[in-house]
Amino acid sequence: MKGLTIRISRFDPENDETAHLETYTVNVNDGARVLHVLHAIHDTLDPSLSFRYSCASGQCGSCAVHVNGEPVLACLEEAKDGMTIEPIHLPVKKDLIVDLLPTLEAIAFLLPVEDSVLPKKSEIDAIKPLKDCIECLACVSVCPAVDVTKFLGPTAMRQQMRLALDPRDSGDRIADAVRDGLFTCTSCQACWKVCPKNIEIPGKAIEKLRAQANTRGFTLPRHLEVAALVKATGRSVPWTTETFLEKVPDVIEPYGPVKATVGFFVGCMYNLRQVQSALDAMEVLRRNGIRVIIPKEQVCCGSPLIRTGQLAIIETLKKQNIETFQSRGIDTVLTMCAGCGTTLKNDYKTPFKVIDINELLTQYGLEPPARLSIKATYHDPCHLMRGQGIRDQPRELIRQVVDLVEMPSICCGSGGGVRSGNPEEAAALGSRRGKEIKKTGVDIVISSCPFCEFHITEHTDKPVKNITTVLLEGYKEKDRQKGTPPVT
C-alpha cells in the first residue's frame, strides 16, 4: 500500500458555476491505476465523486480523463503522487463525466450494399490499422481543429476512411468527410500520439481521404495553386528576392576543426521567405565545427502536397532530392524546417540519415554563447515535437542563452494546408497561441519551424525568432564582451 495525494476536478452543475480542483489523499496498492484511485476516493472519502468506466481493462473506451493535461485511459494509466485528474475536453456533465454522445453519434455506421461480398485479404489488411478504435475520444479532446471549427474530429475521419476501404459499404465516404471538415485538420499529429490504440489517423486516414478527395475534384483552390507552383518551379513558395541557395556557396567550412560533415536540406520557406534565419543557422554551424554541403539542385520535399493529398508529382520530387544528396556521397542530411524534417524522416525512404538542427547541435555539444538578459518562451512545432519526437533538445539549447518560460504545447494552426486553405481557422488558432504567449510575460518567442515562426508573428506583438538566430545573438554578445570584431 502507498498513500497518494492527488487533485481532481469537481463540478456539480446543480451547485457550481465552474469546476474547481479538490485535493484527496488515499491509500492504494502499489501499481494502482488512476481508476483504482477514483474508486478509493469514491468508496472511502466522497461517494458523490462521479466518473465513467466499464471494462477496467482498456477495451471499452469509457474512462478517458486528462492526467496532468494529457488524455489517458484511467483504467490503464498508473497512478502517481501529485497528479491532477480532469475531464477530457468535451462538455462536462458532472466531475469527470463528459457528454460523449454527440461525438459518438457522429461516427458513421456502415451502410450495407446489396449483394455484398466479403472483403479480400488485401482489403482486410488495409482496414486493420484503422479498425481498433475503442471510441474513448482522447483524440477529440486534443484536436485543435475541433476547438475552433465544426470539424467532427479525428475518429470520425478514421471511421470514414475505414468504411471507404470496405467493399460492403455503400456510403460516399469522401464527400461525407469533406462535408465534415476533412480540410480543417492541421496535421498536428496530436490525435494519434494520445490514442491508446496507436491509430495513425493523420497519415492513415486524413491524408488518404484527402488523396481520394483530390481525384474527385474536392481539393481546395489554394492547395491546387500550391501544387501548380511546385510543378512549375520545384518550390512551394513564389520567388521574390535572392534565395538562400543563390546566396551561399556549395560548401561552408567551419571556423575551427571539422567535427562533422552534413548535407543541408533548406526547404522552400527558409530558401525563399525566411532567408536570414537559414543564414543565421549556417553561422552557428560554422562556429560549432560543422562542415555544410549545400547541393543546389534540391527541390521542395513535397510536404505541402502530401499533407493536402496531392500525390501526382511526389515520387519525382523524392527521387530528385534523394539523388541530389546521394550523388555527393552525403551520409547525413541536416534539416532546420520541422515540416521538411518530418517528411524526409517519415514519408521518404532515404539512403542517408536525416537529422534536425536541434539534434545535431546538442549531439556535438554547443560552443557556449553569452547569456542574453531577456526572457523567452518556446513554441513546440508540431512536426518537430510529435513528428520527430524532438522536445528536449531545443530547450537545452535555449536555456544556454536565455531564461525559458514554458507555455502549453499546442498547434499554432499553420500546418496541414490550413493557413492557405482555411485562413479563418488558422487565425483562430494563432490568436489562441498569442494569448498563451501573453500570459508568459516574455520578451521574445522562439521556435524552430518557418511555418510556425511566420504564422505566430501575426498573432503576437513580441518578436518571433528562430532558435539559431537567438544562439547567434548570444555569440555576437560573447564577441562583444571579449572585444572580438564581429565576423561578417
Asked if residue 61 lies in contact with residue 136, where contact means CB atoms within 8 angstroms, the answer is yes
Cα atoms in the 13 Å half-sphere on the side-chain side of 396: 15
For ligand FES, the binding residue among 22, 42, 60, 404 (CB under 6 A) is: 60
Q: What distance in Å separates the CA atoms of residue 172 and residue 178, rounded to the nearest whole number?
A: 10
Q: By C-alpha distance, which of 281, 321, 276 is closest to 298?
A: 321
Q: What is the DSSP letter of 177?
A: H
For ligand FES, the binding residue among 32, 51, 61, 465 (CB under 6 A) is: 61
Beta strands in 57-202 (DSSP E): 64-67, 70-73, 84-87, 92-94, 97-98
Q: What distance in Å separates the CA atoms of residue 305 and residue 290, rounded to the nearest whole number?
A: 31
Q: Is 141 in the site for ligand FES (CB under 6 A)?
A: no
For ligand SF4, the binding residue among 135, 147, 172, 180 (CB under 6 A) is: 135
- The neighbouring-strand residues paired with 252 are 292
Q: Is 209 in the site for ligand SF4 (CB under 6 A)?
A: no
For ligand SF4, the binding residue among 26, 72, 90, 195 (CB under 6 A) is: 195
Residue 126 site contact among other proteins, ligand SF4, ligand FES, none (CB < 5 to 8 Å, cut-off depends on kind):
none
Q: Is 144 in the site for ligand SF4 (CB under 6 A)?
A: yes
Residue 155 site contact among ligand FES, ligand SF4, other proteins, none (CB < 5 to 8 Å, cut-off depends on kind):
ligand SF4
Please provide the size of the chain in residues. Answer: 488
Residue 190 site contact among ligand FES, ligand SF4, other proteins, none (CB < 5 to 8 Å, cut-off depends on kind):
ligand SF4
Q: What distance in Å separates the CA atoms of residue 154 and residue 146, rounded to the nearest whole number?
A: 9
Q: Is 387 in the site for ligand SF4 (CB under 6 A)?
A: no
Q: In angstroms, what CA-CA distances link 340 with 19, 267, 381, 412?
A: 42, 6, 12, 17
Residue 99 site contact among other proteins, ligand SF4, ligand FES, none (CB < 5 to 8 Å, cut-off depends on kind):
other proteins
Q: By C-alpha distance, which of 186, 363, 353 is closest to 265?
A: 353
Q: Is 185 in the site for ligand SF4 (CB under 6 A)?
A: yes
- Of the pair 138, 305, the CB lying nearest ligand SF4 is at 138
Residue ranges binding other proteins (CB under 8 A)? 13-14, 50, 52-55, 57, 59-62, 93-94, 97, 99-101, 104, 135
Q: Which residues contact 175 (CB under 8 A, 6 or more apart)?
A: 216, 218
Q: What distance in Å separates the CA atoms of residue 15 and residue 263, rounded to the nearest whole number?
A: 63
Report the nearest approach of other proteins to the CB of residue 163 (Å).
Answer: 18
Number of residues that bind ligand FES (CB under 6 A): 13
Residue 56 site contact among other proteins, ligand SF4, ligand FES, none (CB < 5 to 8 Å, cut-off depends on kind):
ligand FES
Q: What distance in Å separates the CA atoms of residue 225 and residue 310, rounded to the nearest whole number?
A: 11
Would you call 439 exposed, middle or buried from its count of C-beta atoms within 10 A (0-12, 13-18, 19+)? exposed
Q: Is 124 in the site for ligand FES (CB under 6 A)?
A: no
Q: Is 58 in the site for ligand FES (CB under 6 A)?
A: yes
Residue 93 site contact among other proteins, ligand SF4, ligand FES, none (CB < 5 to 8 Å, cut-off depends on kind):
other proteins
Residue 75 site contact among ligand FES, other proteins, ligand SF4, none (CB < 5 to 8 Å, cut-off depends on kind):
ligand FES
Q: Is 136 in the site for ligand SF4 (CB under 6 A)?
A: yes
Q: Which residues contact 350 (CB under 8 A, 6 or more apart)?
A: 322, 325, 333, 344
Asked if residue 5 lies in contact with residue 24, where contact means CB atoms within 8 angstroms, the answer is yes
For ligand SF4, the binding residue among 134, 340, 384, 467 (CB under 6 A) is: 134
Q: Is 54 in the site for ligand FES (CB under 6 A)?
A: yes
Asked if residue 278 lies in contact with residue 244, where contact means CB atoms within 8 angstroms, the answer is yes
Report the nearest approach of ligand FES to the CB of residue 74 (Å).
Answer: 6
- Of the pair 1, 101, the CB lying nearest other proteins is at 101
Residue 100 site contact among ligand SF4, other proteins, ligand FES, none (CB < 5 to 8 Å, cut-off depends on kind):
other proteins
* Residue whose grid cell is 511526389: 314
Q: Is 143 in the site for ligand SF4 (CB under 6 A)?
A: yes
For ligand SF4, the binding residue among 63, 83, 96, 188 (CB under 6 A) is: 188
Strand, coil or helix: 402: coil
List the grid coordinates of 313. Answer: 508529382
Q: By C-alpha distance, which of 184, 89, 218, 150 is closest to 426?
A: 184
Report the nearest approach of ligand SF4 to the CB of residue 291 (Å).
Answer: 37
The distance from CA 46 to its chain's CA centroid, rounded to whole angstroms, is: 39
Residues that bind ligand FES (CB under 6 A): 53-56, 58-63, 73-75
Interacting residue ranges for ligand SF4, rule: CB under 6 A: 61, 133-139, 142-145, 154-155, 158, 185-191, 195-197, 199, 201-202, 206
